[in-house]
Amino acid sequence: MSSTGAEGEAAAYLRRPFALTSLPKRATLRATALGVMEARLNGTVVGDEVLAPGWTSYRHRLVVAEHDVTDALVLGENVLAAIVGEGWALGRLGWENKRNHYTTRPALFAELVLEYGDRTEIIGSDATFRAGTGGTRDNSIYDGETFDARLEQAGWDVAGFDDSSWEGVEVVEWPLEALTDSPAEPIRRVEILPPVEILTTPSGKTVVDFGQNLSGRVRFTVTAEAGTVITLRHAEVMTGGEIDVETLRTAKATDRFISAGGTRTWEPRFTFHGFRYVELDGWPGEVDPTTISAVVTHSDMRRTGWLETSDPLLNQLHSNAVWSMRDNFVGVPTDCPQRDERLGWTGDINAFAPTAAFLYDVRGVLRSWLQDLAVEQKATGFVPWVVPDVLSTPSSPTALWSDVAVSLPWALYREYGDRAILENSYESMTSFIRQVEGLLDGDGLWSSGFQYGDWLDPDAPDDNPAGGKTDRHLVASAYLCKTTREMADTARVLGHDQDAAEFAALAERVRAAFRREYVTEKGRVAGETVTGYSLAIAFGILDDEQRAHAGDLLARLVAKAGYRISTGFAGTPLVTDALSSTGHLEEAYLLLMETGCPSFLYPVTMGATTIWERWDSVRPDGTINPSGMTSLNHYALGAVVDWMHRTIGGLSALEPGYTHMRIAPQVGGGLTSASLRHTTVAGDVEVSWQRDGQSMTLIAMVPDGATAEVVLPSHPDGETHEVGGGTHRWTYEIPAAAGGSYDLDSTLKEIADDPAAWREFFGAFSAHFPGVPLDGNAPEAAFMTVSTMLEYVPGASDELRDDLAAALARASEGASA
């Protein structure tokens, strides 16, 4: 069958009849495609996966699935068939609007292996196949699918069909050594969601709201006259009462069904969308909500992590991170599931990896992805920024993005305790580190070349998301301190002693270079940014005295920003850790639980059901951020959930694979309870705590064969226990919190010394003067009262004075509670 690989081509329908005079003892179908396929045998779809074979670095790794089809065969004539759509191999990928990254025509590889007692026969994908078309017309990952039921040829995939009008096929040359199995779970239909509401918009459109931003497609049953066209436009958000497709950019995300008459159930085969809302056009009559559903579609990973707290907003934040992960694990870990991108960006998964490994068993998907990374790195000499790589320009070595080659295998090893993960990635890891070592300047700094820096710092210009407050090469050199240490630890684990010594020396060299260039003797970090301090603290760059001082300075910066977010991809996963690990737990909780924009919880207050790409992807007035980069389904900034697991839930691994763990919840933020469950390779771990007045109860379940260091939360004596497998319970009294009393005669320093009071005060002030900084640690703050400050504020009103007084009264009440 001829094919040009052009946009809008119909899917290829392929069939091959064959006759059996006896039935085999076992029959196995091995199949894959250039494109995405649905294999069939005697009219029945083979397997339950969708979008097969998924997306890999096809010329290096083209995944072949195996299915036992013994029971599907019959004596006499049988038919092996498949539909092949364009998928990732032919369709357009990336914002550059390019197609045919891997091939110019769809192709099928199939082997039906028939095992008899005395012989094995193979029926393969050869020139005896015939090719035609059917109801599946244009089909695109980005733009959607059209199905014309009038063109579907009845019985095309079963015996007795006349295919004489179909075309012959050509054999496509492809490196057979690329054919491989995969450790990754297939992409499947994982969940079915019913509508939560059927809306009629101001313009009279019918919109189905599924209540959750998701990846997948819509399934419906409809009775309609022949020729009726039903159009489904997918969207993440509604503005002004109508669906808003701005976040899709050029992706049409539109499916069409053309009826052949009568009743039919339909679901697209060869596309997926990121959506919550679907606008229906052409539906005959009123929509019955029981006839339409959303089919959640992603890699079928096993859930392994749960957290629930006494705060509904935090629970929604956690749920949003879970859903964004699900929606972005459609074969590869992507940045977004909705727009003209959906690429395997390395920086996103690097930032989110510890969270991902807690929430789901990601060994299959991410080991497969790391194999793609390694083969493409070896072929090109660089770690691509997206894997598989479809960018038009080479990817230069870049911190947080390229160094995923090191940090992701290390994160997976820490979670699962499997040395094979490190062994399989070792060549890739060492190649990257040695490449960057060759780029260092004479002082040992990574001071040149392109860097993404603290990507999407909220203070960066909309048209320059890399232009944040923190120097890009400070970020690069800090991350190199981290990855060289991980590299040395990896070599040590694997017994490569010479490499371990080499990388340990390099780690010390780059750490010393960072300290000379960016850190004062006392611990002040150049640039005075939240990200800069967070990196220096979290990556162990500072000595103990410097670390304590840096923690204090970081806490002041966070307070000065009113506990609102001032970090991007590089700093966000680390800032709460940097605070809590330097004695500023309260500030970490205040940062986590702030609801003003930008903050972790601001999107939750705006109705988000997934993590946003930008902190203000939807602005407070309900409009979409007009930058052109406003996905509402990006998991990277949800990396704070890892801190929630370890701090609120209290669980962390002291040894890889949780053979020895630490259970140490740190109570704060007004939370009164939390429960965590994690399925580790050592077994299920459960942690729950509850505060009732001054009584605290902690319950910990440790799997048999594992041990835990348990630090009782808020215990007056800091009591610690070493326990083994089993369920353990402690109940004890905790001291009442001490607090202050504040009014307009309090000094700014007195208020700033109480982080919760400062949050109340700053919130009230910024409601009147948004963006105007207040520094409770400036020298004059020690003697300047609020009343005095107001004398110097132009336009200070009685309403401002009253609001500040009310805020300070609330702070006083909270302190005494």
Is the pLDDT assigned to residue 268 strictly greater than 50?
yes
pLDDT digits (tens, 9 = 90+) for 399-415: 999 999 999 999 999 99
Q: How many CB atoms lie under 10 A from the CB of residue 118?
A: 4
Contact indicator for 115, 22 with CB cutoff of 8 Å: no
595: nearest Cα among 751, 752, 763, 764: 763
C-alpha span between 461 and 684 (Å, rounded): 45
Lookup: tokens for 723: 């326990």
Q: What is the DSSP string of 622-666?
A: SPBPTTS---S---GGGTHHHHIIIIIS-EEESSGGGSEEEE---
What fold, for 651-733? Maltose phosphorylase, domain 3 (2.60.420)
Give the rounded percent of residues in the chain with a pLDDT score beyond 70. Answer: 99
Contact indicator for 676, 701 with CB cutoff of 8 Å: no
Place of tokens 């399934």: 219
pLDDT digits (tens, 9 = 90+) for 158-204: 999 999 999 999 999 999 999 999 999 999 999 999 999 999 999 99
271: nearest Cα among 292, 294, 254, 290: 254
Q: What is the DSSP string of 576-620?
A: HHHHHTTT-HHHHHHHHH--SSSSSSHHHHTT-SS--SSTTSB-T
**Looking at 9, 236, 376, 613, which residue is catalytic?**
613
662: nearest Cα among 651, 678, 670, 672: 651
pLDDT digits (tens, 9 = 90+) for 134-162: 999 999 999 999 999 999 999 999 999 99
Contacts (Cβ under 8 Å, ≥6 apart) of 188: 48, 49, 50, 297, 298, 299, 300
- Spelled out in words, what is the top-level CATH class assigned to the domain 188-299? mainly beta
Is 760 annotated as catalytic? no
776: nearest Cα among 562, 616, 525: 562
Confidence of residue 2 (pLDDT cuts 50, 70, 90): very low
Contact indicator for 168, 130 with CB cutoff of 8 Å: yes
C-alpha span between 205 and 199 (Å, rounded): 8
Q: Pairing mode, if any, of strands 136-140 and 144-148? A: antiparallel
Is the pLDDT assigned to residue 1 strictly greater than 50?
no
Domain range list for the chain: 12-139+151-182, 188-299, 305-648, 651-733, 748-816
Lookup: tokens for 733: 């009294």
C-alpha span between 659 and 798 (Å, rounded): 61
pLDDT digits (tens, 9 = 90+) for 732-772: 999 887 678 999 888 888 888 888 888 888 888 888 988 78
pLDDT digits (tens, 9 = 90+) for 709-729: 999 999 999 999 999 999 999
Average pLDDT, the chain: 95
Contact indicator for 768, 797 with CB cutoff of 8 Å: yes
582-599 in b/e form (b: 16+ CB < 10 A) is: bebbbbbbbbbbbbbbbb
Confidence of residue 788 (pLDDT cuts 50, 70, 90): confident
Is 427 annotated as catalytic? no
C-alpha span between 799 and 803 (Å, rounded): 6
Q: What are phi and psi of 264, to 5 degrees?
A: -150, 145
**pLDDT (0 to 100) of residue 772:** 81
634: nearest Cα among 354, 247, 278, 311: 247
Pick the CATH number of 305-648 from 3.10.129.10, 3.40.50.850, 3.40.190.10, 1.50.10.10: 1.50.10.10
**pLDDT (0 to 100) of residue 6:** 77
- Taken in order 370, 372, 377, 382, the sign of the CA dihedral is negative
CB-neighbour burial class of residue 503 (10 A; exposed 0-12, middle 13-18, buried 19+):
buried
Q: What are phi and psi of 137, to 5 degrees?
A: -95, -125
pLDDT digits (tens, 9 = 90+) for 271-322: 999 999 999 999 999 999 999 999 999 999 999 999 999 999 999 999 999 9
This prediction has a pTM of: 0.95
**pLDDT (0 to 100) of residue 755:** 85
Mean pLDDT for the stretch of residues 12-17: 98
Mean pLDDT for the stretch of residues 434-454: 97
Query: Is domain 12-139+151-182 given the CATH code 2.60.120.260 in the classification?
Result: yes
Mean pLDDT for the stretch of residues 11-18: 97
Lookup: tokens for 250: 């050029």
33: nearest Cα among 3, 8, 78: 3
Lookup: tokens for 594: 């702030």
Q: What are phi and psi of 679, to 5 degrees?
A: -90, 105
Contacts (Cβ under 8 Å, ≥6 apart) of 498: none
CA distances from 214 to 193, 353, 417, 422, 764 (A): 10, 20, 32, 33, 36
Is the pLDDT assigned to residue 505 strictly greater than 80?
yes
Contacts (Cβ under 8 Å, ≥6 apart) of 720: 709, 710, 711, 712
Q: What is the DSSP string of 267-334?
A: --SS--EEEEEEEEES--SSPPGGGEEEEEEEE-PPB-EEEEES-HHHHHHHHHHHHHHHHTEESEE-
Are domains 12-139+151-182 and 305-648 of this chain identical in fold?
no
Is the pLDDT assigned to residue 509 strictly greater than 50?
yes
Entry field: residues in the chain: 817
C-alpha span between 122 and 394 (Å, rounded): 42
**Looking at 49, 145, 341, 486, which residue is catalytic?**
341
Is the pLDDT assigned to residue 395 strictly greater than 50?
yes
pLDDT digits (tens, 9 = 90+) for 525-567: 999 999 999 999 999 999 999 999 999 999 999 999 999 999 9
